[in-house]
């Protein structure tokens, strides 16, 4: 049996309340909070990027014993730092993983994490004593006053894939790929080119095609915004009731779109907020990445699935959040854009007490990360 041994998550503490954004943009706040379904969206702070977030997520779950068994690190992102060098090399170094590890970065919009997970499972099948670390980390940045501005977010998921997993066994289902123009970020652009309505249609069409038509207590979805769960549920042969749907989207409504990690954030939402005893339960999982690739699969939770989670760190996602004003949000995201396109940086003055990993500086484009604790 192969699957997810451990699952960890990191979300930046700095968040923009959607009512703040609505007031600034002259939009009825109900559109964002009721129509889109978002309460807050997480924004990266000055010295965070996809590597620091991925390391924070991994740090919550990895023991020294796990680290010694990791043979490959797959880094799924559409917020790449470099056309050439994989973000996993930085992550591997700062996490202190063995130098004999294979380190690669993967891309297919929000689907790469799921693709990486299935590749990791095949690797473990042929190397049964080894583990693979799959990191998913993204910053969903659409630009000020864009249609997608309300569906931003940032965060990372770390998954350890192994034989005899603690959390749950993964079973492959059906997948499909189509050449679509719903969402893409060409090399000349800092933000994606998005046809929002088409993207929702593609998502729903492909979900119709790959779902397995089994009734289930919970199905988790890739959630670019919380109410996408409602739209996904509408095309399911056996839709969930309102109460179960709210569990699936609860965490996402406080975080926003974290692209590659978003489906697994929905899974964590169920694991944290479900009222039922989930031991032995099979949960449906729908992965979608624009462009477009979709896959439906299941995870069957182990009796002791909670041993694959770090509950303390998961509960901390909702605690001690720093609400940004509109001015702080704008200055943070201007800083973000400048940072991503600067060859030289010194961010050493920005350290916050809750951070374990920070981007300290960049020299000739090469980033230096620090582990603080
Ligand atoms: P929009 O045009 O701003 O919003 O686009 P809208 O007019 O469609 O309104 C949204 C909802 O609010 C509607 O509800 C309105 O009725 C409601 P619905 O009909 O959908 O149920 N509404 C109100 N409710 C209460 N009070 C009011 C009010 N006014 C309106 N006063 C859109 C929204 C999500 C399209 C836009 O923000 C966008 O383009 N976002 C980015 C693209 C996206 O998230 N697509 C989702 C599917 S594709 C995907 O998931 C892949 C992705 O993650 C990328 C990747 O794979 O890498 C994005």
Distance 196 CA to ligand 1 centre (A): 7
User: What are φ and ψ of residue 56, in 5° steps?
Assistant: -60, -45
Q: What is the average pLDDT across 243-247?
A: 98
Q: What is the pLDDT of residue 203?
A: 98
DSSP structure string for 181-214: -SEE--TT-SS-EE-HHHHHHHHHHHHHHH----
Residue 14 has pLDDT above 90, yes or no: yes
> Strand, coil or helix: what is 327?
helix
Give the model's pLDDT for residue 329: 98
Q: What is the crossing angle of helices 262-273 and 112-126, to 10°? A: 80
31 lines ligand 1 (CB under 6 A): yes
* Dist CA 83 CA 309 (whole Å): 33
The DSSP call for residue 261 is G
Q: What is the pLDDT of residue 198?
A: 98
Confidence at 345, pLDDT banded by 50, 70, 90 = very high
Taking only the tens place, the pLDDT of each residue in 30-72 is: 999 999 999 999 999 999 999 999 999 999 999 999 999 999 9
Residue to mutate, 31, 245, 252, ligand 1, most ligand atoms under 8 Å from C-beta: 31
| Shortest-distance Cα residue to atom 18 of ligand 1 | 35
Backbone phi and psi for residue 103, each to the nearest 5 degrees, phi listed first: -125, 120
Reported as a single tens digit per residue, the pLDDT across 75-97 is: 999 999 999 999 999 999 999 99
Residue 119 pLDDT greater than 90, yes or no: yes
Question: Which residues, listed in sequence order, are joined to residue 358 by a DSSP beta bridge?
Answer: 370
Rounded to the nearest angstrom, the distance between the alpha carbon of 36 and the centre of ligand 1 is 6
* Structural domains of the chain, with CATH: 2-167+310-371 (3.40.47.10), 168-305 (3.40.47.10)
Residue nearest to atom 9 of ligand 1 (CA): 35
CB of 288 within 6 A of ligand 1: the answer is yes
- Banded pLDDT at 103 (limits 50, 70, 90): very high
Q: What does the DSSP assignment read for 137-155?
A: EEEE---TT-GGGGG-EEE
The response to whether residue 221 sits with its C-beta less than 6 Å from ligand 1 reads no
User: Ligand 1: which of 27, 36, 197 to mutate, most ligand atoms within 8 Å of CB?
Assistant: 36
The residues assigned a catalytic role are 78, 110, 222
Is residue 259 lining ligand 1, measured as CB closer than 6 Å?
yes
Asked if residue 234 has its Cβ within 6 Å of ligand 1, the reply is no
Q: Which residues of 142-178 are buried (b: 16+ CB within 10 A; e: fewer)?
A: beeeeebbbbbbbbbbbbbbbbebbbbbbeebebeee
Nearest-CA residue for atom 58 of ligand 1: 224
Cβ of 293 closer than 6 Å to ligand 1, yes or no, is no
Query: Distance (Å, rounded) from C-alpha 252 to C-alpha 258?
Result: 9
The pLDDT value recorded for residue 73 is 98
The whole-angstrom separation of Cα 274 and Cα 251 is: 12
Q: What's the gap in Å between 328 CA and the centre of ligand 1?
A: 25
- 157: CA distance to ligand 1 center in Å? 24
* CA 339 to ligand 1 centroid distance, Å: 29
Reply yes or no on whether the pLDDT at 318 is more than 90. no
The kind and range of the H/E element at 172 are strand 168-177
């Amino acid at each position: 049996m192969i699957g997810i041994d451990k699952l960890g998550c990191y979300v930046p503490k700095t968040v923009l309340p959607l009512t703040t954004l609505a007031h600034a943009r002259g939009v009825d706040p109900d559109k964002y909070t009721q129509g889109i379904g978002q309460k807050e969206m997480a924004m990266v702070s000055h010295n965070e990027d996809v590597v620091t977030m991925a390391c924070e997520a991994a740090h919550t779950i990895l023991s020294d014993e796990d680290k010694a068994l990791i043979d490959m690190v797959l880094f799924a992102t559409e917020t790449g730092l470099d056309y050439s060098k994989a973000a996993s090399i930085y992550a591997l170094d700062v996490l202190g993983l063995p130098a004999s590890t294979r380190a690669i970065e993967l891309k297919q919009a929000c689907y790469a994490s799921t693709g990486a997970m299935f590749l990791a499972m095949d690797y473990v099948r042929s190397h049964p004593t080894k583990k693979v670390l799959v990191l998913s980390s993204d910053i969903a940045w659409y630009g000020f006053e864009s249609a997608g501005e309300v569906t931003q977010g940032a965060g990372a998921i770390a998954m350890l894939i192994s034989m005899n997993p603690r959390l749950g066994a993964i079973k492959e289902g059906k997948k499909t790929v189509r050449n679509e123009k719903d969402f893409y970020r060409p090399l000349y652009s800092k933000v994606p080119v998005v046809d929002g309505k088409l993207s929702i249609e593609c998502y729903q069409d492909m979900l119709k095609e790959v779902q397995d038509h089994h009734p289930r207590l919970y199905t988790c979805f890739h959630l670019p915004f919380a109410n996408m769960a409602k739209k996904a549920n509408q095309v399911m042969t056996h839709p969930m009731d309102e109460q179960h749907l709210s569990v699936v989207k609860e965490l996402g409504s406080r975080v926003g779109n974290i692209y590659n990690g978003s489906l697994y954030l929905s899974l964590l939402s169920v694991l944290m907020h479900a009222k039922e005893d989930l031991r032995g339960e099979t949960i449906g999982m729908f992965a979608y990445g624009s462009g477009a690739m979709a896959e439906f699969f299941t995870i069957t939770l182990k009796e002791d699935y909670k041993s694959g989670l770090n509950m303390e760190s998961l509960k901390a996602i909702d605690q001690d959040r720093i609400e940004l004003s509109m001015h702080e949000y704008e200055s943070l995201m201007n800083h973000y854009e400048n940072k991503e396109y600067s060859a030289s940086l010194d961010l050493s003055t920005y350290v916050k007490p809750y951070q374990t990993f920070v981007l300290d500086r960049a020299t000739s484009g090469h980033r230096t990360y620090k582990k603080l604790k």
